[in-house]
Amino acid sequence: MILITGGAGYIGSQTALNLLEKDEDVVIFDNFSIGHKEIIDEIIKEYPSANFVKGDLKNFEEINQVFKEYKIDSVLHCAAMSIVSESVVDPQKYYSNNVLGSLNLLDAMVENNVKNIVLSSSCSVYGEQEYLPIDEKHPVNPVNPYGATKLAVEGMLRDYELAYGIKFVILRYFNVIGADGKNRTGEWYPGETRLITNLMKKIVNGGVFKIFGDDYDTKDGTCVRDYINVEDIADAHKLALDYLVKNQKSEIFNLGSMHGYSVKEILNAVKKTLNIEIDVEVCKRRQGDPAVLFADSEKAKNLLGWNPQKSLEHSIETAYEWNKKLKNMN
């Protein structure tokens, strides 16, 4: 049985659906601080065999009890606070949730002799890029508390491997976009700062979309980023778990498209895909935003057999449908 922490959240719920579609036995663990009960209800409605436990990783007894009640073989650790700006103003919240929560999870794994874990990490561990594209050997030097907490958990995994024999795969995501193709789940967090999610909110709910800086040294003056679909990310989790169970070898993989899109290119793609116009305001640059950032994901393709399938247009369409659904739910 596979334990999915944060399985009511954006990436965790998509991964849960991916596994359930492949007839895997799963137990989802979430405290609904970011995730949503409505998503769990929909998952269980479609897959009555899915198990759900409401609990908080910051409470060791709550997560340890899951291992006592269920025969857990592997863990997909998707639970984390993930808003960079929020982490800067409230680092305590991030260290408590992301680091302490992960420590409790690992301690429960040790106590219950569970040896396999896949970690949802982030490209934010790299900090300012020294070269492009960014591969797994790039120096790690996070520039915000969120990235620092992710790097701390990665370090914990290495130490727990040496001491207790836990094997891990670390997945460092770049910019995740899109929603479930069947409109069952998607990004649902009021403070979200991701580009396409914010664009969809403006389109569905009205308002002006802000571009932060159009004077970067790029082809059109706006920042260039690497975007990867959430369904492709979910596929990577299954492939990573299969790799880990088969090979019992710890690894780190970047997950990205290996292609950069500028903010204006994304904006134009949204306009064309949805056949709409968008009110835009150009604002000053945000501090710390590099001009260009994209991944080298060859390692994941070669070792995991991971080949992202979803187009940018698919990501836009699914994100739009999901945000329309959210508006009707509120």
Rounded-to-integer distance, Cα 232 and Cα 250, Å: 21
Q: How many CB atoms lie within 10 A of CB 142?
A: 21
Cα–Cα–Cα angle for 48, 79, 295, nearest 5°? Answer: 110
Helix axes 10-21, 37-46, angle to 10 degrees: 0
Can you tell me whether residue 113 is helix, strand or coil? Answer: coil
Identify the residue whose tokens are 């579609």.
21
| CA end-to-end span of the chain | 34
Please report how many Cα atoms fall inside a 13 Å half-sphere around the Cα of residue 231, on the Cβ side: 19
Question: Long-range contact list for 147-151, CB < 8 A, 24+ apart?
Answer: 147/84, 147/122, 149/80, 149/87, 149/94, 149/95, 149/98, 149/99, 150/80, 150/98, 150/121, 150/122, 150/124, 150/125, 151/125
- The active-site residue out of 146, 173, 216, 261 is 146
Rounded-to-integer distance, Cα 5 and Cα 105, Å: 9
Rounded-to-integer distance, Cα 190 and Cα 153, Å: 26
Residue 70 annotated as catalytic: no
Q: Which of 124, 147, 121, 149 is nearest to 134 (CA)?
A: 124
Q: How many CB atoms lie within 10 A of CB 69?
A: 11
Q: Which amino acid is at 219?
A: K
Residues that are catalytic: 146
